[in-house]
Amino acid sequence: MFRRLPDSPAETLRFTFDGAPLTARRGDTVAAALLANGIATCRATPAKGTPRGPYCLMGVCFECLVTIDGTGNRQGCLVALEEGMRVETQAGARKAVAP
């Protein structure tokens, strides 16, 4: 469904998704990197566990929520990918942590 437009080569970054090693280009958001790697599902809804994935890619819909480096409820479409990021599927709602 998604494919890259031809352009000049960019630096390759390595990251993991649910423990699997993947690569993407510098400048990609986490959501774009997942889509470029053929990953269309990045979370499950709290109520029924329905799979969801990036939809609007501009921060409006919250369908691209993932856990990044241990922090949940991150909108993958708004977070720039960085070398070595650990991205994980978010299953349900993030647990509340007392201050």
**60-73 residues labelled b (16+ CB within 10 A) or e (exposed):** eeebbbbbbeeebe
Contact 43, 90 (CB under 8 A): yes
Count of C-beta atoms within a 10 Å radius of residue 10? 12
Domains of the chain (ranges, CATH numbers): 12-91 (3.10.20.440)
Percent above pLDDT 90 for the chain: 75
Rg of the chain's alpha carbons, rounded to an integer?
13
Give pTM, 2 decimals.
Answer: 0.87
Q: What is the DSSP letter of 48?
A: T
What pLDDT, on the 0 to 100 scale, is given for residue 95?
64
Q: Which pLDDT score is estimated for 9? A: 72
Beta partners for residue 31, in sequence order: none
pLDDT tens by residue, 42-89: 999 888 889 999 999 999 999 999 999 999 999 999 999 999 999 999
